[in-house]
Amino acid sequence: MSTSSGEKPASKHVLTAERCPKNPSMPKAFCSHCQGTERGTANNPKFSIRPGYHDCWPVVEILKDGGPIHIYDQHFRFGIRKAQLLLSCITVLGEFWKSTEKERKDFRPRLIEDERGRLTVFAFAEMHPDFERSDRQTIDHPWLRLRVLPSDREKIGLGVMKCRAVCAVAGDLRRWLISEGAPPPGNIRQTILGD
């Protein structure tokens, strides 16, 4: 049997085998459910924020699939100033989490200047060869470090998952800052050092 174009139709068995059981109209090759990239899966988590207060001060927590970012840090929570710091560096965070392991190790330090928030941040990658998790597994990966200048009193360290999470909720963080009466970052200038 052939179609009007002269091609033989695919057998029903082949069509059934290649279709997603959850979304039957979708071929498995194009289905995020079958490929494991559906929202809320390990490869494509859903990030969100949870605003709150700590000792009467506004804070926001970033959640992954409604829970902790990872099991080794129960609360990725911070206040207004660190939210401004993270958003000032959003381009760097995005570059860091999308990079390969080698590119993260070769990450070039840079200065990020946010004129609106009057922030100058030194961003650099740092290895933690002796970092040990609570299960005693040693982690040997670069971390992104953000240090506010001129002092190094305000600083934050982020791994790949936290960089990814901040990038995913950047719009929500910006709206949260505005709702708290804090200016979101603006007029950002980045200078790669060592050029």
Residues 36 and 87 in one domain: no
Q: Say if 69 falls within a structural domain.
A: no
Q: Is residue 61 part of a domain?
A: no
Same domain, 85 and 176: yes
Whole-angstrom distance, CA of residue 20 vs CA of residue 34: 7
40: containing domain: 11-44
Chain mean pLDDT for the chain? 84
> What are the distances in angstroms from CA 26 to CA 15, 19, 35?
10, 6, 12
- In this structure, are 85 and 165 located in the same domain? yes
Instruction: Tell me, yes or no, whether 85 and 150 share the same domain.
Output: yes
Answer yes or no: are the C-beta atoms of 174 and 183 closer than 8 Å: no
Instruction: Give the three-class secondary structure for 178.
Output: helix
Does residue 187 share a domain with residue 137?
yes
Pair 19, 106 in one domain: no
Tally of structural domains, the chain: 2
pLDDT, residue 27, reads 80
Tell me: do 89 and 30 sit in the same domain: no
* 13 confidence band (pLDDT: 50, 70, 90): very low
Q: Per the domain annotation, does 160 fall within a domain? A: yes
**pLDDT of 74-129, one tens digit each?**
889 999 999 999 999 999 999 999 999 899 999 999 999 998 878 899 999 988 76
> Tens digit of pLDDT for each residue in 103-116?
999 999 999 999 88
Does 147 lie in the same domain as 91? yes
CA–CA separation, 112 and 78 (whole Å) = 20
**DSSP string covering 75-104:** -EEEEHHHHHHHHHTHHHHHHHHHS-HHHH
pLDDT at residue number 152: 65
On whether both 94 and 23 belong to a single domain, the answer is no
Do both 85 and 164 map to the same domain? Answer: yes
35: pLDDT confidence band, cut at 50, 70 and 90?
Answer: low
Would residue 54 count as lying in a domain? no
Pair (31, 85) in one structural domain? no
Q: Are residues 31 and 84 in the same domain?
A: no
pLDDT, average across residues 43-64: 93
* Tally of helices (H runs) and strands (E runs) in the chain: 7, 10
Is 72 part of a structural domain of the chain? no
